[in-house]
Amino acid sequence: METVITIDGPAGSGKSTISSLLAKKIGYLYLDTGAMYRAVALAAKRKKIHLNDGKALGELCNSLDLHFITDQDPPRLFLNEEDISAAIRSPEMDMASSKVSAVSEVRKAMTGLQRKIAKGMTLVAEGRDMGTVVFPDAKHKFYLTASLEIRTERRYKERLGRGETVHMAVVESELKERDHQDETRPIAPLRPAEDAKIIDTTEMTPEQVIGTILCQLDLG
């Protein structure tokens, strides 16, 4: 039986920072499911597959050898023998991953893979549908939110840190578009599970968010 803590929420809500810090702190595995959708988008781009071609994307997913190397911090994601951790972090992959994630064949394959990775593990699973679809029985579910303004600022700084030249207004409109796409897709849309604790991180430091989460956990 696995023990899963789910952390869902929109882009820039602090999910990745919090999930990775929390996992480290309590000795759980950190599962970044957004990275998996990004990997599918990257592989589709390389194979010139249309981002709404369900059949081809489904076949692609079933042929991918996708695995995390978790003894490094942050964990690395490999596609076959290639470390794609950096290649999946681009504005193009932001939007492309959101597009492929709306395709049912892709969701089915990724959900299966995520559950397989979780088997017998203790993990912090981060994404959009962890609490609602992939691990509905998880005992501890969290949904992080933050104002559009602060989420934009966080993403803006992240992108500057990667050496990109970008305008704040562009970051904001891309963020809005992606959230809209993720929230309105028919399958596994972004939304809090009914039993998730919602944490607004707008005015919180990562340490405060971790503290709030730790207060809710009884890890026995």
Which chain residues interact with ligand DC by CB under 6 A? 11, 33-35, 37-38, 97-98, 101, 127-130, 178, 182
CA distance 81 to 91: 24
Q: Running DSSP on this structure, what letter comes out for residue 132?
A: I
**Which lies closer to ligand DC via its Cβ, residue 97 or residue 152?**
97
**Which lies closer to ligand DC via its Cβ, residue 176 or residue 219?**
176
Q: How far is the CB of 220 from ligand DC (least distance, A)?
A: 27
Q: How far is the CB of 95 from ligand DC (least distance, A)?
A: 8
Q: How far is the CB of 218 from ligand DC (least distance, A)?
A: 25
**Which lies closer to ligand DC via its Cβ, residue 132 or residue 213?**
132
**Which lies closer to ligand DC via its Cβ, residue 118 or residue 219?**
118
CA distance 57 to 110: 11
Q: How far is the CB of 180 from ligand DC (least distance, A)?
A: 11
Q: Residue 90: name the closest of 20, 143, 35 by CA.
A: 35
Q: Running DSSP on this structure, what letter comes out for residue 196?
A: P
Strand 122-127 and strand 29-32: the pairing is parallel
Q: Which helix (H) or strand (E) holds 126?
A: strand 122-127
